Copies of this chain bind each other. A is one copy, B any other.
């Protein structure tokens, strides 16, 4: 299949290489900054770096919009599509309908529309095994859905056909499990920094906590700590200490109350 990418960021970087390894031809890579498009094209076999969104003469059968949510509308408004093409975005938050409306609004040429969302966080410098990454796909029509499912299975063992509404819930859950957990680690480091204690001290415990939580039938079943034991004395001591960090004192209280509540239910 001939595939072109709009965007040369972290998602395009890994996804284009995975698709090429699966036997597809990456025809073009677009970036607003041609240098970025060139950098990615160099990683690929025979790919044209471009800084123009006119794909009218492109051989692409599939155009993958791997750009930030904020840039999606601007990109589609300038996009000129070839005939008989499928357009997908790779966003966890934008709906299929968002993209369908944008394409209907701006494009003179009709296209099949879909979503091809890899549920992972990417960095260009970190090698990643695509076969383990869940791919969530969706499309406006069944043939396009089947095309995307088939494509997804060629690079990943974990493929889900998922509605935009389900993907939105998945994203809310990911914010709790990943973005917020990361922030708790950042808070933890700042608390240790304030006493010149090393964050490294906590790393074995953090790794083991996550390992246990993901191997348990439910992370709640392996919850530990003062809130789980409803150990009021320790919690009061901790809240006293956190007096110097008012917003973390509030967080400590809310999270502890919620652990106590969940432990009772």
Q: A-side interface residues toward B, CB under 8 Å?
A: 69-70, 93, 119-121, 123, 126, 128, 132-134, 158, 160, 166, 168-189, 191-192, 194-195, 197, 201-210, 212-214, 218-220, 222-228, 231, 234, 237-238, 241-242, 247-248, 250-252, 254-255, 257-259, 261-262
Contact (A205, B259) CB under 8 Å given A166-B197, A175-B238: no
Please tell me if the beta carbons of A224 and B182 are within 8 angstroms of each other in the complex: yes
Q: With a CB–CB cut-off of 8 A, which chain B residues contact A218?
A: 186, 189
CA distance A246 to B160 in the complex (A): 29
Asked whether, in the complex, the Cβ of A213 is within 8 Å of the Cβ of B182, the reply is: yes
Copies of this chain assembled into the complex: 2
Q: Which of these, B169, B205, B220, B234, contacts A191 with CB under 8 Å?
A: B169
* Chain B residues whose CB sits within 8 angstroms of the CB of A70 once the complex forms: 231
The answer to whether B178 touches A225 (Cβ under 8 A) is yes
Query: Which residue of B120, B121, B191, B210 is within 8 Å of A173 (Cβ)?
Result: B191
Nearest-Cβ distance from residue A168 to partner chain B, whole angstroms: 7
A219 to chain B, nearest CB (A): 4
Q: In the complex, A192→B167 CA distance in Å?
A: 10
Q: Determine whether the beta carbon of B177 is less than 8 Å from that of A184.
A: yes
Known A-B contacts A121-B205, A192-B169; the reply to A255 vs B222 at CB < 8 A is no
Residues of B within 8 A of A186 (CB): 213, 218-220, 223, 262
Contact A259 B179 (CB under 8 A): yes
Q: Given A179-B259, A180-B255, A187-B176, do A197 and B169 touch, yes or no (CB 8 Å)?
A: yes
Contact, CB under 8 Å: A134 / B238? no
Check B119 against A183 for contact (C-beta < 8 Å).
no
Task: Report yes or no: A172 in contact with B241, Cβ–Cβ below 8 A.
Answer: yes
How close is A211's CB to chain B, nearest CB, in angstroms? Answer: 9
Q: How far is the CB of A239 from chain B (nearest CB, A)?
A: 9
B residues less than 8 Å from A212 (CB atoms): 121, 123, 126, 182
Q: Which of B177, B228, B237 contacts A202 (CB 8 A)?
A: B177
Contacts of A171 in B (CB 8 A): 234, 238
| Chain B residues, Cβ within 8 Å of A225 | 175, 178-179
CA distance A184 to B178 in the complex (A): 9
Contact A258 B254 (CB under 8 A): no
